[in-house]
Amino acid sequence: MDVVINGEHKHIRGGTLLEVLEELELDPRAVVVEHNRKIVRRPALSEVTVATGDAIELVHFVGGG
């Protein structure tokens, strides 16, 4: 299915948000997930299913002042 991840159009297998992170080879403990502008807490990642056209933001901490 086609979704937008971090502003980029991506074609993914889909499933739950946890499965999307696995597909992207991202450690769920190391990222914070926003799904259609709503933060999804870690325990709920396996409960939210991604749909075509969804916007997903995956963020983490980088160097900053």
**Residues of this chain that bind other proteins (CB under 8 A):** 5-8, 24-27, 30-32, 34, 39, 41-42, 57-65
Tokens coding 33: 């997930």
Closest CA to 56 of 11, 10, 5, 21: 5
Smallest gap from Cβ 52 to other proteins, in A, equals: 19
Smallest gap from Cβ 63 to other proteins, in A, equals: 4
For strands 2-5 and 32-35, give the pairing: unpaired
Spatial distance between the Cα atoms of 64 and 12, rounded to a whole number of angstroms: 31
Smallest gap from Cβ 53 to other proteins, in A, equals: 18
Q: Between residues 14 and 26, which has the closer beta carbon with respect to other proteins?
A: 26
